[in-house]
Amino acid sequence: MMSTIQQAVSESTRLLSTWQEKADRLDDKERLALEVQLKTLFSEELGRRGFFAAYSTSDLQLTKAMQETLKAAVLSNIDAVGDIMVKNVFMSGQSYLGSLASLAHEGKAEASKQTMIKSLDLIQRLGIDEIKNKLQDALLAIHSYQDENENPQDKWQQFFKRWNYRRENLEKMPDLLNEA
């Protein structure tokens, strides 16, 4: 059990490094062991957050075997894992848009944009309809989101409110995702 996000990111980074070293040379036994490790990570909130933070900021390029193994692990906890994948797209996209306002944060803006692109690419590459639908639901929630609403009912609007996202930046997300 992970007790901090730092532990989860560290464990995920270690796992990704091992994964990258072996790439498509994993035998069936090693692939199954990796899938079990991923499922264990994905069973905990900190594990999910740590893995996708580590993955989206890594240089790892998924091979076909890696993609299949990751997809199987994602499907084992699709609702929670899908939510964090969509949240990563929004968090990095909103960070990018917020950083654009300041030239002092130009490097942060580019890093956030690359994180968003990698997160979005993963959703597209895995091709899991449930996650694509979650992304669409989050984009649709923007249209009726009001910053001043203290208690939004929609889960995506609750997420926007929790992170103090402004509607004007949220409205830029569809175009930003289309550019990516």
Tens digit of each residue's pLDDT (9 = 90 or more) over 52-66: 999 998 888 888 888
Q: What are the sequence ranges of the domains in the chain? A: 1-76, 78-180
Round to whole Å and give the CA distance between 91 and 161.
12
Residue where the block lists tokens 């499922």: 39
Question: Does 102 have pLDDT greater than 80?
Answer: no
Q: What's the chain's length in residues?
A: 180
Q: What is the share, in percent, of the chain residues with pLDDT greater than 90?
A: 57
Model pLDDT, residue 104:
61
- Token pair of 180, please? 């990516």
Comparing CA positions, the residue from 61, 44, 174, 50 lying closest to residue 122 is 61
pLDDT at 20: 79
Average pLDDT score, the chain: 89
Q: Which amino acid is at 92?
A: S
For the whole model, what pTM was predicted?
Answer: 0.90
Percent of the chain with pLDDT over 70: 95
Residues 6+ apart with CB under 8 A from 170: 94, 142, 145, 160
Between 21 and 8, where is the model more confident? 8
Residues 130-162 have pLDDT tens digits of 999 999 999 999 998 987 888 888 899 999 999
